[in-house]
Amino acid sequence: MITDPARLASFAHDEAAGAPYALPAAVVRPRDTGEVAAVVAYCAERGVPVVARGAGTGLSGGANAVEGCVVVSFAAMDRVLSIDPDERLAVVQPGVVNDHLRAACAAKGLWYPPDPASAPWSTIGGNVATNAGGVCCVKYGVTRDYVLGLEAVTGRGEVVRLGRRTAKSSAGFELAGLLVGSEGTLGLVTEITLRLRGERAQEHTVVGYFDDLPSAGRAVAHVVAAGVVPSALELVDRYCLRAVDEWKNMGLTDGGDVLLLARCDAPGAAGLQEADTVLACFEAAGATWSARSADPAEADALFAARRLVYPALERLGMVLSEDICVPRTLVPEMLARLERTAESNGVRIASLAHAGDGNLHPMLVVPRGDERQLARGREVFEEVVDQAIALGGTVTGEHGVGLLKMRGLARELSPAVVDLHRGIKRVWDPAGILNPGKVFTA
């Protein structure tokens, strides 16, 4: 148990820009489910808040400590317990890092698809808490699609096993799926049974540069209409490209203003056909330059550059990052609205997007410590969230609600649905100790 204030500070918050947090009263690092259950039971009896924490890479404040809380860090429960190649299952502890699991699977010819940008650091427990996505979700789905079963500790300190190890089941309510994305408000996940896939076929990369966001948006719409489901379809706008160039001098902006990166992985010749279709879509939308990349190293470098966007922007100030998701045919419309919103507010919105599934990450950079600009940026993003909702979208595609999307969620859901959330929380956590004040108000 950690109670030294100097050390507590590093467990006080995640990476959400400007979300409130407090110093925890204590941090515990349980080694097994029994210890988790004991901590929760102790806290339930005394009404002490409990905040679960993986790697702290969240972007919504879901892992931020609240006044007087105990932070339960899963750093010491970081083992891959088993990988079964025939059943295509992995059983893991919540603290295992996403990339470590992926490597362990790859060593057995298997693949765990969800690949959030945080994969080198974020944990499966955190991925489960936020229903994390990533680049390949456009074809392969999100974390929830891979969670078959869970062990969890409820707010009463009870250990429950939910879900299954079988390919399918209709036995009772889908409680494992309910816990995925519940951000530590219903239970603390202590073990996860994950579905795996076999190794994927070779990916073919298609690169396109565009003069502006509308033409890149049209290219995305063309791909959607062509019926191709790429295994990645990422958009990086001029502000993002420039930030990476200024840092790494990669020459990304030499090709043009907006970059689209697509990958196709249908097996055999079908994959090449898909890639050629995507290329034709890029060209039809007015790409200034486009090509099917013949060099895997070059293709990987472009995807690596995409991952550098966030740290590159962080060099320039505090990055406010949105996570809206709109119906995918409305990506061009949402991009146009982002441009108008930026203009009317006199700000610069940088956009990175999982364009193929309509999940946009508009970003605003504000000078560190400038509370006025931070507040202003938040207001701009509330406008953006309203526009996403108006287009039939959602306030968070993959980051979770945490603290930062609470206002938006209250607008997305009807009061009756929020009441269902509150009722369900009372069932799992009658004392109201699990991550209180997150996602929705009590």
Residues 313-332 that bind a copy of itself (CB under 8 A): 323, 325-329
Does residue 172 bind a copy of itself (CB under 8 A)? yes
- CA 282 – CA 355 distance, rounded (Å): 13
What does DSSP say about strands 232-236 and 110-111: parallel, antiparallel, or unpaired?
Answer: unpaired
Q: Does 435 bind a copy of itself (CB under 8 A)?
A: no
133 near a copy of itself, judged by CB under 8 A:
yes
Shortest separation between residue 369's beta carbon and a copy of itself, angstroms: 30
Residue 275 binds to a copy of itself (criterion: CB under 8 A): no
Q: What is the 3-state secondary structure of the chain?
A: CECCHHHHHHHCCCCCCCCCCCCCCEEECCCCHHHHHHHHHHHHHHCCCEEEECCCCCCCCCCCCCCCCEEEECCCCCCEEEEECCCCEEEECCCCEHHHHHHHHHCCCEECCCCCCCCCCCEHHHHHHHCCCCCCHHHHCCHHHHEEEEEEEECCCCEEEEECCCCCCCCCCCHHHHHCCCCCCCEEEEEEEEECEECCCCCEEEEEEECCHHHHHHHHHHHHHCCCCCCEEEEECHHHHHHHHHHHCCCHHHCCCEEEEEEECCCCHHHHHHHHHHHHHHHHCCCCEEEEECCHHHHHHHHHHHHCHHHHHHCCCEEEECCCECCHHHHHHHHHHHHHHHHHHCCCEEEEEEHHHCEEEEEEEECCCCHHHHHHHHHHHHHHHHHHHHCCCECCCCCCCCCCCHHHHHHHCCHHHHHHHHHHHHHHCCCCCECCCCCCCC
C-beta of 320 vs 409, nearer to a copy of itself: 409
Taking CA atoms, 67 is separated from 22, 25, 281, 375, 435, in Å, by 5, 8, 53, 23, 11
- Rounded to the nearest whole angstrom, what is the least distance from the CB of residue 255 to a copy of itself in the complex? 28
CB of 19 to a copy of itself, least distance (A): 16
Q: By CB under 8 A, is residue 387 in contact with a copy of itself?
A: no
Pick from 189, 224, 281, 366 the residue near a copy of itself by CB under 8 A: 224
Rounded Cα distance between 184 and 123, Å, is: 14
Question: Considering the rule CB under 8 A, would residue 198 count as an interface residue with a copy of itself?
Answer: yes
135 binds a copy of itself (CB under 8 A): no
In angstroms, what is the minimal distance from the CB of 356 to a copy of itself?
A: 8
Instruction: Find the shortest distance in angstroms from Cβ 439 to a copy of itself.
Output: 6
* Interface pick for a copy of itself out of 122, 190, 387, 394 (rule CB under 8 A): 394
| Residue number with CB closer to a copy of itself (19 or 312) | 19
118 near 57, Cβ under 8 Å? yes
CB of 244 to a copy of itself, least distance (A): 25
Task: Using the minimum distance from each CB to a copy of itself, give the nearer residue, 186 or 374.
Answer: 186
Quick one: which segment of 14-22, 162-170, 234-242, 309-317 binds a copy of itself (CB under 8 A)?
162-170
- 106 binds a copy of itself per the rule CB under 8 A: no
Residue 384 in the binding site for a copy of itself (CB under 8 A): no
Q: Is 372 in the site for a copy of itself (CB under 8 A)?
A: no
Decide: residue 440, CB within 10 A, 0-12 exposed, 13-18 middle, 19+ buried. middle
Does residue 284 belong to the site contacting a copy of itself (CB under 8 A)? no
Residue 24: CB minimum distance to a copy of itself, A: 24
- Binding mask 233-262 toward a copy of itself (x if CB under 8 A, else -) reads ------------------------------
Q: Does 401 bind a copy of itself (CB under 8 A)?
A: yes
Distance CA 259, CA 309 (A): 12
Q: Does residue 138 belong to the site contacting a copy of itself (CB under 8 A)?
A: yes
| Contact mark string toward a copy of itself, 327..366, x via CB under 8 A | xxx--------------------------xxxx-------
Q: From the CB of 438, what's the least distance to a copy of itself, in Å?
A: 11
Residue number with CB closer to a copy of itself (130 or 293): 130
Residues that bind a copy of itself (rule: CB under 8 A) add up to a total of 88
Among residues 395, 404, 431, 434, the one that binds a copy of itself under rule CB under 8 A = 395
User: Which residues are registered as beta bridge partners of 111?
Assistant: 197
Residue 86 sits in the site that holds a copy of itself (CB under 8 A): yes
Among 57, 64, 123, 130, binds a copy of itself (CB under 8 A): 130
Which region among 3-11, 34-42, 176-184, 309-317 touches a copy of itself (by CB under 8 A)?
176-184
